[in-house]
Structure 1
Amino acid sequence: MFLVERLKKHLPVTHLMAVIICTVIIGLTAMLMPSAEAPASDAPITFTQPHINDPQPLPSAAQQSDPDNRHPSDAGNTQVAMMVPSKLTSPAQPATQKADVWKDVTVRSGDTLTSVFKRAGLTGRDAFLVSTAVKGTEALKRIYPGQTLSFVIEDKQLIKLKHIRNQLESSLLTATDQGFSVKEITKQPDIETRFASGSIENSLFLDASAAGLSDKMIMELAAIFGWDIDFVLDLRQGDRFNLVYEEKYLEGKKIGEGNILSAQFINQGETYTAIRYTDSDGNSSYYTPEGDSMRKAFLRSPVDFARISSSFKARRKHPVLGLTRAHKGTDYAARTGTPIKAAGDGKIIWRGKKGGYGNCVIVQHGGNITTLYGHMNSFRKGQKTGSRVSQGDVIGYVGQTGLASGPHLHYEFRVNGVHKNPQTVKLPHAAPIDKAERQQFFSVAKQTLAQLESFKATQLASAAH
């Protein structure tokens, strides 16, 4: 200001203004000139784009609440730093599928499909729609007490239904836009080979049970040798049996038995040997080591394990009439209702009441053999005179109709009209191994018998120690 006052005294106003303007221009120029510490550069300005795969860390809660605390470099990248990690460092996981919630309903005696559905929380209409949808399949074809039906139900709508028929077979129904799809599920069990052996001291049932065999296996063993041995009349103490059979396992748990692969029965000093063979058509049966069928054209006994109360005799005092006359058949004492089997393939030529025989069935076998079954309590439903029957088919049930003092079956065997002793008559064999199968059969038989003998030797060695 002092300099300006002195200039006012010596310079005109016009010159004074010019000096001030020049001074201002020089000052501004000096301010805009670069300093020595920061020399000017003509290089272009570049910006480094932040790596999208290496995002900046998200600001802390304190930094987000106070903008002044943020680092200057965060200002432009804050949105990127906050959004990118959510997409790339934490990729979206696929939605987890909701687990099915199954409701099991066990079929009771007297149940219908509708009653089972209602216990599951569904309606009779639901049962009708499902039964209509599965026609022609195995699903829900038959339901038995003890079976399980499992349901998946959402908002009172049936989504899935599983019909568990047994431990190996089930059907799965799944709701679709068109109704229900059906999938058959079959589990394959693991098969293990077992060996059993025993001696007859009491009865086949008691002694075979003691050897570890189930009732099912005992019945199968008796069926294999039943054409040659009457297990009521022919057994003697000291008789022996040996067999190789299958056991079925599912997930390490035994669920039952399979087939008998080979068996021997020594009865009154005579050895009977049976080998299971499946032919090229898939048919399985039992044969002797020579290829003859174990199966005969007729069963030796039409009632399983019944006691013979009266044998075939030329003279016998009748228990009801008191008269002495021939007894032209064999009487098998058994409980009322015990099933009676057809002794062989044939046609029913009589079915009804017949004098002292009471309820009676006569079966014609071929041209010259007939069998008669008397004193039945009742007949099997669905059969009539003229019906064809196969060996082993149930034709009626033990009773005491007609001239009978107690429940039993009276059984007669006639050849060309002549009565024969059912216990001793020579029974014709069924067809042997087909010629085309014989070579393969003998190969299988050799291996099967070697396996049986190996098991027997191992058991003997164990017993010796």
Structure 2
Amino acid sequence: MSHSTILFVYAAPVPRMTRFPLFPVEPDKFALICIVCLMLVGAVFMMSRAPAKSEQPAVALPNDALSALPASAVAASGPAAPAPASRYTVKTVAGQPTFFDAANLAGLSASVAHRVIEALRNRVDFRRDWKQENQVSFVFDTKSAAAHTDDPHPAMPAAVRVVTDAGEHDIFLYKNLKGEAFYYTKSGDRARGGFIRYPLAFRRVSSTFSSRRFDPVLRRWQPHDGVDLAAPAGTPVHATANGVVTFAGQQTGYGNVIEIRNRPPYSTLFAHLSRFAKGIHAGAKVRRNEIIGYVGSTGWATGPHLHYEVHVNDVPKNPLTVSLPPAEPLHGKELSRFASRSAELEGLL
């Protein structure tokens, strides 16, 4: 009998694999891979939140380059530079009994306040028109040469506005091409240097301009071609504009009288004077605000006063209301330069 060898082969069971479409791996290895991926994603996320640091040095842009950039770009590049300080300061004063008090409170010296009053004299009678509730504003140029002296008082104001019951009155300081500084109105007319309204400091108007007035001396009705301004005897009388004396002497009724030919078509007359100032005679040239005589009661006068007349083309006009001509106004390039400056200053008042 033959012997047969029987061979037994043991085959270990092969575990069944779970296959995924993209990862044909076992579940425990798949889970490990997922954890690692999540950690990588988290690390990338944290790195993206950290501020980026540039290793290159910052490059400073020149000023002209900054001016060419948009405003948003300049603002983002760093803190904005402080705005330049204004070259002007404005001081407004109200509630003062006189203009001089208001000017003093604003820091003006007496001489500067007087010059401002002279510039506004054609428009405001500060002795009669000023009231305590009135207001005045001064604009000072802090970069002017006069502003950097040892004088504790401000220099001449660059602009002035006086507000009274009659309205607003503005003047602007302007240096012309000759280097001369004067005050001008907004229209470019010289504020001072033309006519002044009143030739003296008087107490009251004792008799008004009239086409028919009863004369207290002649006891009859007749025209009164001027105004009588009552004032103490000896009160100085001033020329109201530049001109040439055409007569200085005595006239019936007028007593001592001075007649002046001013800029055409204007002329002025001053009567009942006690005496003439030195140098006043026919042919003498006089300047605005120059003393030409003194109050008296010569001629047909019932008391000391000045009889004052203004003629336009030889026709008598009411001196208290007649339109008075300014000094020579600005023209051409001067007017254009002044208009630009006055517009800037007016915006500050």
TM-score (normalised: structure 1) = 0.48
Matching residue of 1:264: 161
- In structure 1, C-alpha distance between the alignment counterparts of 2:123 and 2:213, rounded to whole Å: 27
Matching residue of 2:135: 240
Query: Would the aligned equivalents of 2:90 and 2:137 in 1 still touch at CA under 8 Å?
Result: no
Matched residue SS, 2:119:
helix
Query: Would the aligned equivalents of 1:302 and 1:342 in 2 still touch at CA under 8 Å?
Result: yes
Matching residue of 2:186: 289
Q: Are 1:394 and 2:272 counterparts?
A: no
The partner residue of 1:410 within 295, 307, 314 is: 307
The partner residue of 2:93 within 197, 201, 209 is: 197
- In structure 2, C-alpha distance between the alignment counterparts of 1:345 and 1:424, rounded to whole Å: 20
Query: Deviation digits for residues 14-48 of structure 1, max 9, x if unmatched?
Result: xxxxxxxxxxxxxxxxxxxxxxxxxxxxxxxxxxx
The partner residue of 1:336 within 199, 208, 233 is: 233
Matched residue SS, 1:356:
coil
Matching residue of 1:428: 325
Matching residue of 1:460: none
Matching residue of 1:226: 121
CA distance 1:282–1:289, shift in 2 (3 Å) = same
Total equivalences in the alignment? 259
- In structure 1, C-alpha distance between the alignment counterparts of 2:279 and 2:317, rounded to whole Å: 30
Matched residue SS, 1:260:
coil
Q: CA deviation at 1:290?
A: 3.5
Q: CA deviation at 1:428?
A: 2.5
- The one-letter code matched in structure 2 to 1:197 is V
- In structure 2, C-alpha distance between the alignment counterparts of 1:370 and 1:251, rounded to whole Å: 43
- In structure 2, C-alpha distance between the alignment counterparts of 1:322 and 1:237, rounded to whole Å: 43
Query: Deviation digits for residues 43-66 of structure 1, max 9, x if unmatched?
Result: xxxxxxxxxxxxxxxxxxxxxxxx
Matched residue SS, 2:269:
strand
- The one-letter code matched in structure 1 to 2:295 is V
Larger relative helix fraction: 1
Q: CA deviation at 1:377?
A: 2.2
Query: Deviation digits for residues 253-292 of structure 1, max 9, x if unmatched?
Result: 74x6642331112233421110010112111211123423
Q: CA deviation at 1:360?
A: 1.1
- In structure 2, C-alpha distance between the alignment counterparts of 1:252 and 1:367, rounded to whole Å: 45
Query: Deviation digits for residues 52-99 of structure 1, max 9, x if unmatched?
Result: xxxxxxxxxxxxxxxxxxxxxxxxxxxxxxxxxxxxxxxxxxxxxxxx
> Runs of 5+ in structure 1 lacking a partner?
1-191, 454-465
> Runs of 5+ in structure 2 lacking a partner?
1-87
Query: Would the aligned equivalents of 1:196 and 1:213 in 2 still touch at CA under 8 Å?
Result: no
Q: CA deviation at 1:225?
A: 1.6
Query: Would the aligned equivalents of 2:147 and 2:155 in 1 still touch at CA under 8 Å?
Result: no
- In structure 1, C-alpha distance between the alignment counterparts of 2:212 and 2:107, rounded to whole Å: 44
Q: Which structure has the larger Rg over C-alpha atoms? A: 1
Query: Would the aligned equivalents of 1:232 and 1:307 in 2 still touch at CA under 8 Å?
Result: no
CA distance 1:283–1:417, shift in 2 (3 Å) = same
- In structure 2, C-alpha distance between the alignment counterparts of 1:210 and 1:307, rounded to whole Å: 29
- In structure 2, C-alpha distance between the alignment counterparts of 1:253 and 1:445, rounded to whole Å: 26
- In structure 2, C-alpha distance between the alignment counterparts of 1:361 and 1:268, rounded to whole Å: 35
Q: CA deviation at 1:315?
A: 3.3
Q: Are 1:318 and 2:215 counterparts?
A: yes
CA distance 1:219–1:406, shift in 2 (3 Å) = farther
The partner residue of 2:257 within 347, 360, 380 is: 360
Q: CA deviation at 1:414?
A: 1.1
CA distance 1:290–1:364, shift in 2 (3 Å) = closer
Identity %: 34
Matching residue of 1:378: 275
Matching residue of 1:308: 205
- The one-letter code matched in structure 1 to 2:206 is S
Query: Would the aligned equivalents of 2:258 and 2:270 in 1 still touch at CA under 8 Å?
Result: yes
Query: Would the aligned equivalents of 1:231 and 1:305 in 2 still touch at CA under 8 Å?
Result: no
Matched residue SS, 1:441:
helix
CA distance 1:218–1:338, shift in 2 (3 Å) = farther
CA distance 1:430–1:238, shift in 2 (3 Å) = same
- In structure 2, C-alpha distance between the alignment counterparts of 1:198 and 1:266, rounded to whole Å: 10
Higher relative contact order (CA 8 A, sep 6+): 2
CA distance 1:375–1:211, shift in 2 (3 Å) = farther
Query: Would the aligned equivalents of 1:296 and 1:427 in 2 still touch at CA under 8 Å?
Result: no
- In structure 2, C-alpha distance between the alignment counterparts of 1:257 and 1:438, rounded to whole Å: 27
CA distance 1:426–1:284, shift in 2 (3 Å) = same
Query: Would the aligned equivalents of 2:202 and 2:230 in 1 still touch at CA under 8 Å?
Result: no
> What pairs up with 1:21-36 in 2 under 5 angstroms?
none
- In structure 1, C-alpha distance between the alignment counterparts of 2:95 and 2:286, rounded to whole Å: 36
- In structure 2, C-alpha distance between the alignment counterparts of 1:285 and 1:306, rounded to whole Å: 31
Q: CA RMSD in A?
A: 3.4
Matched residue SS, 2:157:
strand
